[in-house]
Amino acid sequence: MGSLENERTVIGWAAKDPSGILSPYSYTLRNTGPEDVLLNIIYCGICHSDLHQVKNDLGMSRYPMVPGHEVVGEVVEVGSEVTKFKVGDVVGVGVLVGSCRNCNPCKSDIEQYCNKKIWSYNDVYTDGKPTQGGFAQSMVVDQKFVVKIPDGMSPEQAAPLLCAGLTVYSPISHFGLKKSGLRGGILGLGGVGHMGVKIAKAMGHHVTVISSSDKKREEALEHLGADDYLVSSDTTRMQEFADTLDYIIDTVPVFHPLEPYISLLKLDGKLILLGVINTPLQFLTPMVMLGRKTITGSFIGSMKETEEMLEFCKEKGVTSMIEVVKMDYVNKAMERLEKNDVRYRFVVDVAGSKMDP
C-alpha cells in the first residue's frame, strides 16, 4: 500500500480565529506512511475541551483549527507495515496521535504523560504539518494511536467513550478503584460526569451525583442509575454525607471551591480532578491532612486502557447518552454546550453531513 503519489485534499470544519465559529476549510492530509492508517470519518463527539481550544481559552490555539478528538471511522487504506488493522475495520482515534516512544511514560505504556505527545489537532506533527481533528472527512493516523471498535458496538455510541469514557475509566483503574462495593461521588453531570456515573455503576459502586442545583436529579437517578443526589448548597445534606465517600471524580470545568467536597471523603479518600480550568483552585491544608486525603488529577488514558475500557463497556452494556447532529449544526451545538444544554454528549454525523459550503 505504502505512500500515495498525490496528497489527498479533504474538507473539515475549522475555527479561523478566537470567535470559535467553525466553517468549511480545505487542506491536505499527509501521505499514508508504512505504519499509518487512513480512515474515513463516520462520527465525531464534541468535547468541552474543543470549546476551550477553538476560543483560545488556554492561550495556545493555532488557526485554522479543525477540532474533534472522539473520532470513529472506517479504515480505507493501511501502510505496508500496519499489522493491527485492515481495510473495512471500524476504528477509533482519541486525543493523541503521537508521542516520543522513548521516555519513561512511553516505555511504561502511559504515553498520554509523554512530554512530547502530539495532540489530534492544534498541534504540529513530526513532518511539520499541523494536526487537524475529526470534524473532517478523513484522517491519517499512526496505527499505535488507533483502536478497534468492538464488534456490535454502534459507532455513534463509541465516539464519546474515546475521551469522556476513557477519562473516567483510567483513574478508576489506576487508583485501585475497580473493586465493587466502593462509594463514589461524581461532581458535575456533563459529558464526562454522565460516563462517570455509568462506568462506576458498572463497576458495582454506590454512586452519588453532586451538583450545584436540583435540575438534574431525575436524570441522574432515573435515567443514569445513580443511587443518590446531593446539591452542594444544601449544607444539611452535605454534612450528612461527610466522611462517607471513597472517591470523588470532579468533572467541573470552571472555577469552584474544593473544601465542600474534600469534607465528603473518608480517611484516605481521593478527589480526582478531571476538569480543565485555567484559574487556580484553593483549599485549606488541614482539610486534607486530617483525613490523609489525596487531591490528584488524571489525564485521558493510555492506548492500552482505551482498549480495556471499550471491552469493559461492551461486556457491561455501557453506552453514552448522545444527541446526534449534522455538521451544519455544529456552531449551535457548541453554543448549547457552553450553556450545558446537552444530554450528555453531542456526536456529529460526519459521514452523513454535507461538508462543503
The tens digit of pLDDT for each residue in 270-296 reads: 999 999 888 999 899 999 999 999 999
pLDDT at 10: 97
Percent over 90 (pLDDT), the chain: 92
pLDDT at 318: 95
Handedness of CA 101, 104, 109, 113 (dihedral sign): negative
The predicted-structure confidence for 94-118, as pLDDT tens digits, reads as follows: 999 999 999 999 999 999 999 999 9
How would residue 2 be classed by pLDDT, with cut points 50, 70 and 90?
very low
Cα(141)–Cα(126) distance, integer angstroms:
12
Cα(222)–Cα(311) distance, integer angstroms:
25
pLDDT at 357: 72
Assigned C-alpha cell, 253? 470545568
The predicted-structure confidence for 247-262, as pLDDT tens digits, reads as follows: 999 999 889 999 999 9
Cα(99)–Cα(83) distance, integer angstroms:
19
Residue 329 has pLDDT above 90, yes or no: yes
User: Higher confidence at residue 58 or residue 237?
Assistant: 237
pTM of this prediction?
Answer: 0.93
Q: List, in order of start, the domains of the chain with CATH numbers.
A: 8-163+321-349 (3.90.180.10), 166-297 (3.40.50.720)
The predicted-structure confidence for 103-159, as pLDDT tens digits, reads as follows: 999 999 999 999 999 999 999 999 999 999 999 999 999 999 999 999 999 999 999
pLDDT at 58: 86
pLDDT at 3: 45
Residue 201 has pLDDT above 70, yes or no: yes
Percent over 70 (pLDDT), the chain: 98
How would residue 6 be classed by pLDDT, with cut points 50, 70 and 90?
low
pLDDT at 352: 97
pLDDT at 4: 46
- C-alpha distances (whole Å) from 303 to each of 68, 92, 98, 163, 252 are 18, 11, 11, 11, 25
